[in-house]
Chain A
Amino acid sequence: DAKTTQPNSMESNEEEPVHLPCNHSTISGTDYIHWYRQLPSQGPEYVIHGLTSNVNNRMASLAIAEDRKSSTLILHRATLRDAAVYYCILSSKKISSGSARQLTFGSGTQLTVLP
């Protein structure tokens, strides 16, 4: 499975944009890039995903490098509720699980939002 590399931690001020980087230099052509976040003592929450083009939704934007070896999750205005561990994940497919792509979590980035 292709691996991702993220900074262990980042800080941001409230109301300011946050750019969370992720490197995935061994990504394959069929791997999707997913971002999830996890608040303390909760299950992960879907944020956004993409393949090649940049993506926007109500939560965030995903900027994908042209060579797909890196991507950046952009939170346009950080709030205190955005403090969480953010995981950048590449979806992988295993024959034994049929068509269901499973997700392999890395260590993620702990985002601290300062008031």
Chain B
Amino acid sequence: GAVVSQHPSWVICKSGTSVKIECRSLDFQATTMFWYRQFPKQSLMLMATSNEGSKATYEQGVEKDKFLINHASLTLSTLTVTSAHPEDSSFYICSARYGSGSVTGELFFGEGSRLTVL
């Protein structure tokens, strides 16, 4: 199956610093990628939809100035958590849909990136 890779898989940072998480589709092109956040023992919550070559679409309640998304190419989307605080500590997961133009195909998810803000 198609592979989506995230980096780093875990990161620890000090409060106030910015952290960038990369999401790559390794063997297919993805015009759209999705970013999710998951707190312990909770379900995944969609944060934003990342569109190649255009601005991301954020879900209600997600601060676009705090969670910067850049989808610079068909295989790479990045999420930058700016001025991170302990409440931003979470498991961040990206996903991409395999198949250009497919609206019903399966989503492939990255391994997730665990952010801990001290």
On whether the beta carbons of B49 and A44 are closer than 8 Å, the reply is no
Could you tell me which residues of chain B, from 72 to 118, have a CB within 8 Å of some CB in chain A? 91, 93, 95, 97, 101, 103-104, 106-112, 114
> What is the number of residues of chain A that contact chain B, defined by CB distance less than 8 Å?
29
* A42 B112 Cβ-Cβ under 8 A: yes
Is the pair A93, B112 in contact by a Cβ cutoff of 8 Å? no
Q: Answer yes or no: B17 CB below 8 A from chain A CBs.
A: no
* Chain B residues within CB distance 8 Å of chain A: 1, 4, 6, 31-32, 34, 36, 43-46, 49, 51, 57, 91, 93, 95, 97, 101, 103-104, 106-112, 114
- With A and B bound together, what is the CA distance between A63 and B40 in angstroms? 31
A-B contact count (CB 8 A): 71
Q: Would you call B43 and A43 a contact (CB within 8 A)? A: no
A102 vs B51: C-alpha distance when bound (angstroms): 12
Contact pick for A102, options B31, B34, B106, CB 8 Å: B34
**Chain B residues within 8 Å of A43, by CB:** 4, 6, 93, 95, 109-112
Whether the pair B108, A100 counts as a contact (CB closer than 8 A) is: no
Within the assembled complex, what's the spacing in Å between the Cα atoms of A38 and B41? 12
Are A107 and B103 closer than 8 Å at their CB atoms?
A: no
Q: A44-B95, A100-B103, A102-B34 are in contact. List 6 more A-B contacts (CB 8 A).
A: A38-B44, A43-B6, A43-B93, A97-B51, A99-B103, A102-B49
Q: How far is the CA of A93 from the CA of B103 in the complex (A)?
A: 9
With a cutoff of 8 Å between Cβ atoms, the chain B residues found around residue A108 in the complex are: 43
B46, B97, B108, B111: the one within 8 Å of A42 (CB): B111
Q: How far is the CB of A34 from chain B (nearest CB, A)?
A: 8
Q: Is the CB of B32 within 8 A of A100?
A: yes
Candidate in A41, A43, A105 with the most chain B CB atoms within 10 angstroms: A43
Q: Does A69 contact B (CB under 8 A)?
A: no
Q: A105 to B43, Cβ gap below 8 A? A: yes
In angstroms, Cα B106 to Cα A34, docked, is 8
CA distance A107 to B43 in the complex (A): 5
| A41 and B46 form a contact (CB under 8 A) | no
